[in-house]
Structure 1
Amino acid sequence: MVDWDSLTFSFTKTDRMYLSKCELGGEWAVGSMMDFEDLVISPAAGVLNYGQGLFEGMKAQRASDGSIVLFRPDRNAKRAQEGAMRLGMPPVPEEIFLDAVMKTVRENSRWVPPMGKGALYIRPLLMGSGPILGVAPAPEYTFLVFTSPVGPYFKGGITPTSLRVSERFHRAAPGGSGGVKAIGNYAPGMIPSKMAKKEGYSEIIYLDAVNHRYIEEVGAANFFCVKDGVISTPELTGTILPGVTRASIIELAMARGYEVREEKVDVEYAMSADECFCVGTAAVVSSIGKIQYGERVKEYYGGEVGPITRELYENLTAIQQKRSPDEFGWIVDVE
């Protein structure tokens, strides 16, 4: 069995997976559970040749009462539907998506770590699995869900990380697919991320591709900064992923009385902020200790976790683990 104390954010094979198929123009039906195994797929599959595919990232966690819970799974289902339409794939109905996630977590429940030791990462995947030659939607689609127990995305969790602003690479451009979780969005970020880590940074901060001055995302996470008690995050313009944790932090902060602005966040403004942090399903809330931009390095809050960052992290994780009341109706029990 897994050594929960040494769990990292990496793949571990679990017991079971969910699989369903649908013809182009057809209707999705409830799929079936099966033992985790390799797929048989045509070399001419649309996903292999033209990148016609998307994924979601979710977590099942052990709560303080011993139950297993999901966090806002309906938001992932809706985002996957929007992404499918953008990529020319038949959207999976929300009830089928949620049923698939529930069944997969239930049949892999022994892999859910104890509370505070990590989570069971859930990976729904939708792809054009049918053979196609010529840039067009595939004739057949596969929807599957698998899981893996994971530790923290950033080593140290809430411990402040160091980031570098990329002046050479961009993550997405206006009119593209940056606002959906398309599989092809992630490979181009691997080399910039690897280069940053080689230089001692945890991740890259991407600027917009038009003006080269507005912050978009931190690797695969959403960016926030705090100045004079006001919280700012890049507005959704179609180039930024509408993160579920991002939306939750905005709602949570506003409910706690903070002013939250969704706006263009100039990198110079971020360099003068009091606190910075990034959020995502994998990262949850990760404090940013310092940012390098060109030759300048800005340290935030003396390299410690800022008070607003810590408050939001503790509030969110308390709700996720049922240690405080869920006033928003975000938590779903896995029956």
Structure 2
Amino acid sequence: MKQKVEDLDWKNLGFVYRDLPYRYEAKYKDGEWQEGKLIEDSTLALSEGAEILHYGQEIFEGLKAYRREDGKINLFRPDENAHRFALSAERLAMPPFPEDRFVEAVKQVVLANKEYVPPYDSGATLYLRPFMIGTSNVLGVQAANEYTFRIFAVPVGAYIKGLNPADYIVSEYDRAAYAGTGQAKTSGNYASSLLPSVEAHKNGFADCLYLDPREHKYVDEFGGANFYGITQEGQFVTPKSKSILISITKRSLLELAKKQGLNPVERQITLEEAFNMKEAGAMGTAAVISPVGSITYEGKKHVIYSETETGPVTTKLYNELVDIQYGKQEGPEGWVQTID
């Protein structure tokens, strides 16, 4: 059933799927991408032999549209999502969707569903989920030769509500292999994190923190977000690894941290160093920034700054990032595209 605007409680949306009127679809066939269009049908028809069902050729993205105070709509760095989507496609042996068409398709979906972009003061956003799947029939292990690209939209509340410190546990599992698909945004990486996440939630934790899959010595990332820390000297540090997702939020915060004089750097971070950070947080499109209250490892809890209060550096970074996204503050050139 299609979601009616009048039935939405903007301040209590949660982070759940809703069927909006329009989505965008394009198909790859005979060696090229066909012309795409907006459609109303939210279902997909697949053969039982479709590649996605057997060998997992699938990639996706996540980005948001923000209602400004003047009523216009902002997109935050959609060109970066388009580029990451292309990189993910190449890693999964899929034909990259043209980056300029990706951005244009995002804009079409937002404008077609613009009445569902939450009000400025609601704290909610319109979440966009572009994805691509292999659809041709296969039996042996091989890449598909036909693909479907879609973008749908959903009004959502915060994935993690507010700047409330959360407790994490170091996982005994690996999220992705060192030279595997960790840098691609593909469903298999998230499927492998489901069991650890279920176990973490069962034990009262917000999520897992994963270590590098080679030595289990260095911090990689959380199940659904990247890690950053503020050292005792006041430096913004974030892991550099071949097994973690390329993060647009991380790239943005590295620039903002430099502007704020935090001398940011990407490098390996030992688990012991992470325990001794002045502040730490999870960062990503859905999470935005979520402060880390504690990290538990081998039964011992290590509190980072506070389990009840957010540190000043994290608060300042969060406020500047969100203000740019909502148009309250001008960001670096090219970061925001206003479309309405």
What is the TM-score with the length of structure 1 in the denominator?
0.96
> Which residue of structure 2 lines up, in the alignment, with residue 234 of structure 1?
239
Correspondences of 1:89-238 after superposition (within 5 Å):
89-115=94-120, 116-154=122-160, 156-166=161-171, 168-227=172-231, 228-235=233-240, 237-238=241-242
The residue type paired with residue 53 of structure 1 is E
> Which residue of structure 2 lines up, in the alignment, with residue 316 of structure 1?
321
Correspondences of 1:50-61 after superposition (within 5 Å):
50-61=55-66
Q: 1:194 deviation in Å?
A: 1.1
What is the TM-score with the length of structure 2 in the denominator?
0.95
Q: 1:6 deviation in Å?
A: 1.3
> Which residue of structure 1 lines up, in the alignment, with residue 257 of structure 2?
253
> Which residue of structure 1 lines up, in the alignment, with residue 311 of structure 2?
306
The residue type paired with residue 128 of structure 2 is I
The residue type paired with residue 207 of structure 1 is L
Quick one: which of 267, 274, 280 aligns to 1:276? 280
CA distance in 1, matches of 2:104, 2:293: 40
CA distance in 1, matches of 2:140, 2:292: 45
The residue type paired with residue 158 of structure 1 is L
Q: 1:182 deviation in Å?
A: 1.2
Q: 1:238 deviation in Å?
A: 2.3
Quick one: which of 281, 295, 299 aligns to 1:295? 299
Is the 1:11–1:148 Cα contact (8 Å) retained in structure 2? Answer: yes
1:10 aligns with 2:16: yes
Is the 2:220–2:227 Cα contact (8 Å) retained in structure 1? Answer: yes
Is the 2:165–2:306 Cα contact (8 Å) retained in structure 1? Answer: no
CA distance in 2, matches of 1:275, 1:241: 22
Per-residue CA deviations over 1:26-58 (Å, capped at 9, x if unaligned) read 222330111042111111111111000100011
CA distance in 1, matches of 2:284, 2:306: 24
> Which residue of structure 2 lines up, in the alignment, with residue 73 of structure 1?
78
1:302 counterpart SS class: coil
CA distance in 2, matches of 1:173, 1:250: 25
> Which residue of structure 2 lines up, in the alignment, with residue 285 of structure 1?
289
Is the 1:14–1:36 Cα contact (8 Å) retained in structure 2? Answer: no
Q: 1:85 deviation in Å?
A: 0.9
CA distance in 1, matches of 2:184, 2:234: 31
Q: 1:99 deviation in Å?
A: 1.3
Is the 2:193–2:223 Cα contact (8 Å) retained in structure 1? Answer: yes
Q: 1:295 deviation in Å?
A: 2.2
Is the 1:57–1:123 Cα contact (8 Å) retained in structure 2? Answer: yes
1:64 aligns with 2:69: yes
Is the 2:82–2:102 Cα contact (8 Å) retained in structure 1? Answer: yes
CA distance in 1, matches of 2:242, 2:35: 31
2:33 counterpart SS class: coil
Quick one: which of 27, 30, 36 aligns to 1:31? 36
CA distance in 2, matches of 1:68, 1:30: 26
Is the 2:178–2:242 Cα contact (8 Å) retained in structure 1? Answer: yes
Structure 1 unmatched ranges of 5 or more: none
2:265 counterpart SS class: strand
> How many residue pairs are counted as aligned between the two chains?
331
Is the 1:152–1:283 Cα contact (8 Å) retained in structure 2? Answer: yes
Per-residue CA deviations over 1:123-178 (Å, capped at 9, x if unaligned) read 00111111111111112111110011111112x32111111111x20111111000
